Chains A and B, each alone.
Chain A
Amino acid sequence: MSATPVSSSSRISRSGSRIASAYQQGAVVLFGALILYAVGFLPMNAAHNAAHDTRHSLVFPCH
């Protein structure tokens, strides 16, 4: 009753933008996970040596 009437088209566009926002936030999580994989898990020797002290400090399994 106290709710303001919302036209169906704006409701649709709002739910559309919510889905788009969910995709975008999923992409942000993926972005973060990829970076963390590179820093903490990449088995390449050069990557391990460059990030060695970081891996130890953040207690990623190392060696």
Chain B
Amino acid sequence: MFRALVLSACLIGIVLGLAMTAMQAVGVTPILLAAEQYEVSHGPQAVAGAHHDHGHAGQAGHHHDETAWAPADGTERLFYTAVSNILAGIGFAAILLVVMNQLHERGRLMMTAGRGLMMGGLCYLVVFVAPSLGLPPEIPGAAATALESRQLWWLATVILAAAGLGLLILARGWQRGLGGLLLLAPYAWVPAHEGPLFSHPDPQAVAALTELHHSFIWASGLTNLAFWLLAGLLSVIALQRLTGIAQGHEEARD
């Protein structure tokens, strides 16, 4: 079972990662690159002293350690993004496959394409919508609170949303109320940034970044929706094969 599930997750991850890379190249990456333009040129100081080394460790908000390795823009960056997308796809698919398999074993999930899309949609709500309600999708250059607290909040929110949504759908009676509570709990405290989102000194740049930010929310929202619907569908297909439903059908037809 371990081998079969991991192998399926890898295959699904490759398809998901490549699809994600294609969608990103169209909708998401251009926005990230445009936002990074404002990030690198750090406003008037950088324009005035163009030959100045960017040693701005004290800059508020976002800053990259420029001595660290980073893939070069272009093909190399695309390659590493594709690899990371595939790995993320494998990771998500592995967990989704086990959850769906468990639900199927307990008779709570039929392995049909429609149910696969539904599971994908629920994953979209849990992994994208739930954390985005507190911490909206971010573009480079946006100010934010300490990374660790946001990562912890993200993780807690996704786990609570999964548990809460699961209880709401599967449980009965008072346990449903508990599910609703779990869903809402993370928003009691959100590590959101206080004050303006973009601290760029040029108001024109701030306007441009704000617009980029809005289109990024749309782009990432749609990309993630497609990613998860595809993940749910592919997981159903994989589990049909693993549990022999598809083979049974084929034999019955023959």
Contact = CB atoms under 8 A, between A and B. Distances in A.
Interface string A24-45: 1111110111111011110101
The B contact surface, by secondary structure, is helix
B163 to A, nearest CB: 14
A14 interface: no
Contact of A56 (B71, B102, B139): B139
Interface residues of B, number: 54
A12 B237 CA distance: 31
A57 B92 CA distance: 14
Main secondary structure of the interface of A (DSSP, over half): helix
Contacts of A25: 1-2, 5, 98, 101-102
A40 B70 CA distance: 16
Size range of the chain A interface in the assembly: 35 or more
Contacts of B62: 63
Contacts of B138: 56, 59, 61-63
B178 to A, nearest CB: 23
A57 B24 CA distance: 7
A57 B71 contact: no
A57 B90 contact: no
Interface of A: 21, 24-29, 31-36, 38-41, 43, 45-46, 49-63
Contacts of B102: 25
B20 interface: yes
Nearest to A32: B94
A32 B95 contact: yes
Given A25-B98, A28-B98, A59 B128 contact: yes
Contacts of B1: 21, 24-25
